[in-house]
Structure 1
Amino acid sequence: MNTLNTTSAKARPAISALSQSSTPVLYWATLGSVFLCLAFYVWGSWILSDDFRPVPVGDDPIPLNVQIAVRAIEALAAVVALGMLWKCVFQPWIRDGELSFDGMLVLNLMLMWWADPIDNYVTVSFFYNGFTFNMGSWANFIPGWGSPNPQNFPEPLLMMGGFYIGYWMLNVFLGCWLLGLLQRRLPNVALGWRIFLMFIPLAIIDLVVENLIMRSGAAAYPGVVKSWSIYAGEVYQWPLYEAALVAFVSTGFTCLRYFKDDKGQTFVEKGVERLKVSRARKKLVTFLAIAGFVQPFFLIGYFLPYNLFAMRSDTAPAYPSYMRNLICGEGSQYACPSYDWVPIPQRGSRIFVTPDDSRLPQEIRDAQGIKASGKDPYASGQ
């Protein structure tokens, strides 16, 4: 009898732990752990590989106005990122001795950065300027990657580091402010409509910000569906669905932060108070739970529909070599995308269309670089 009682007593902690496992926060935290492990695997593999080097920019000279614009954008992004880290991470840590919810959220938004190259997951649809401060890209190590030459995709460390830390969180702050304003001014309007009214300015802001970046020559969308795009056929063409996707994801992150229960918890934190662990470990579980929402929502809400559009990309305009970076077009093995003429190439495939393939119409071959025109579309006065 004593043995049975002792065994039963020893089993109680296990039973207690099992009951804790039914709390929603642990489900979210488990999912977040999987995605963060993937992120660190991708980044670690890249840093230890030969892909960890600046990308080739080719023979076309980079105009001075483009160089100035790129460096200015990088400087601005770095300043915004540092300011956001100070406000959300370091200042609350110094004051309270622990991370605030905003601090955990901004760090999780930064950790979404591993997915940034996925714009080109299926086919080439997005360029960064090779003049940006970069050490190549980790795209080669993202499982299932399909499009060719991912090692030549220049991930801008300053510009996009600032974007993931600063821009997403600024959108969240603005979205929460707008929701609060709409709740005060339009209390009788259904919640769904208030969220939609918040979505619209977020889409407009993305339209303005990204178009300024496209005009500067810091980035480009070579693969767009022209009927759904503005300035179609120009090097600064821009897909309107980009604004909708960015605003949709920003809306999701905003709702995560804005809507809390009577305990002050978001839906991913529910049950964290029932965990019989230290406060520091509860913070860690909360951090992982936020990742469990942020990471898959970003992939499903943005990259999945974006790549479906990219698979129907029309013929890309002629870009200089510092935008193509030997990913496609002149100097590479692969022709740049064209839905009607260039089948989507797969990395490692022996069947693909080259930039000078005689079966391509002359205008498609001329769009593989700027040698045919002799003019750089980004240069001032051209």
Structure 2
Amino acid sequence: MPAYGVAGNGDLPPMGRQGPASFLALIGALWAALSVYVVLRWVTDGTQFGPVERIGPDEMASWRVAALRVFELVSLAVMFGFFWWSCIKPWRETGRISLDGKFVIGGLVGFTADAFLNVHNYLFAWNSHNVNLGVWVKYLPFHNPDAPSQYGESLIWGPPMYIYFCAGVAILAAHHAVKLRRRWPKLSKFQIFVAIFVFEFWFDFIIENLAIRLTHGYAYAKTYEPLTLWAGEVHQFPVYESVLVAFVGMVFTWARMEAMERPPGQSPIEIGVERWRASLQGVVGHFAVYGFCVVTLVFVYHLPFNWLGTIGDSYADLPSYLMPSECEGIAVEDCVTGNFDKP
């Protein structure tokens, strides 16, 4: 019989549990390098970098423009608040950034992936009134050259969403999970996570629908109709959006709750950093968290969202200010699917 009870191992010693840190750090480093490349290509492209042209004939109501500006200011305040409480304050007090802070930074690192929303079709409509400098989608892997690439990705309220829907909901959900356990000590992890999922689903559903209806900052241009509310309207909403966001939030919440039961710096994401020499452990830990953020965002959210949107058949009634600039005079369905001649 093999020495360690596993057929084929022979006299090999057990490898032991090495942890995911090195693998996730590799992903984080590769994604950071890709992001730098994509952004550099974007900012040096004279046709893609810069505020998008606003096409007619539709005019946005002045009160909606005001609501959009308020949304942008509130989003900025939330983002800076998270940076202060999760990154700057802990760093000043302890010389280290907590897991929450790494999630905040990781959300911004993962924001480059936001353009994947429209990498194949124009599924996610952006308002040209957003403070924007165009979009980098053209330089992402797997970009469909027929898809629109001249629209106004928000640089003000977009990045904060990757913070409060990831780090934010994890902090809030973990806090309330502790309260639930104190109130009902016999609750299982499954029951707690069901409650967390319900909370995160409704949190996203309410926030997004308020933002869409009040600001027209964005819209879902093409969705899978059987899972879409108010299909065909400018404010049509795919229910799977909130489901996917809730799953993303649950993954971040799981990591944070597990970390609460471990010593600082030993979250389930960072297991294995101790295998590196001391001078590199901090860097590896950071990039491991960034890799975790990217993997979660891409595989839990972006891939299923793109699949459901690509097979979708419900097209929103978009005003022209929610259309890409190269789609002036083009029907929504043709613009969304890239079925038009680019100028």
TM-score by length of 1: 0.78
Question: For 2:149 and 2:310, how far apart are their aligned partners in 1?
Answer: 21
Aligned to 1:54: 51
Deviation at 1:23, TM superposition (A): 5.3
Question: For 2:200 and 2:250, how far apart are their aligned partners in 1?
Answer: 8
Q: How does 1:279-298 map to 2 (within 5 A)?
A: 281-298=280-297
> Paired residue for 2:35, among 25, 28, 39?
39
Aligned to 1:209: 207
Q: How does 1:114-125 map to 2 (within 5 A)?
A: 114-125=112-123
Aligned to 1:221: 220
Q: How does 1:1-382 map to 2 (within 5 A)?
A: 24-50=20-46, 51-60=48-57, 61-146=59-144, 148-216=146-214, 217-260=216-259, 262-264=262-264, 265-278=266-279, 281-326=280-325, 328=327, 330-332=328-330, 335-337=331-333, 345=337, 352=339
Deviations 1:30-65 (A, max 9, x none): 122112211222122111212111111102322212
Deviation at 1:219, TM superposition (A): 0.8
Contact 1:147 1:345 in 2 (8 A): no
The residue type equivalent to 1:81 in the other structure is M
Deviations 1:239-273 (A, max 9, x none): 11100000100110111111035444211211323
The residue type equivalent to 1:127 in the other structure is A
Distance 1:305 1:48, change over 3 A: same
Deviations 1:332-351 (A, max 9, x none): 4xx433xxxx69846xxxxx
Contact 2:91 2:97 in 1 (8 A): yes
Instruction: Compute the RMSD of aligned alpha carbons.
Output: 2.4
The structure showing larger relative contact order (alpha-carbon pairs under 8 Å, at least 6 residues apart) is: 2
Structure 2, gaps ≥5 residues long:
1-14
Distance 1:57 1:21, change over 3 A: farther
- Would you say how many aligned residue pairs link Structure 1 and Structure 2? 323
Deviation at 1:98, TM superposition (A): 2.9
Question: For 1:49 and 1:252, how far apart are their aligned partners in 2?
Answer: 36
The residue type equivalent to 1:58 in the other structure is I
Question: For 2:44 and 2:51, how far apart are their aligned partners in 1?
Answer: 14
Greater gyration radius: 1
The residue type equivalent to 1:269 in the other structure is E
Q: Secondary structure of 1:131's match?
A: coil
The residue type equivalent to 1:179 in the other structure is A
Aligned-pair identity (%): 28
Deviations 1:74-122 (A, max 9, x none): 1110111111111111111222223222221210011110011212222
Structure 1, gaps ≥5 residues long:
1-18, 347-351, 355-382
Distance 1:268 1:230, change over 3 A: same
Distance 1:343 1:40, change over 3 A: closer
Q: Secondary structure of 1:220's match?
A: strand
Distance 1:58 1:290, change over 3 A: same
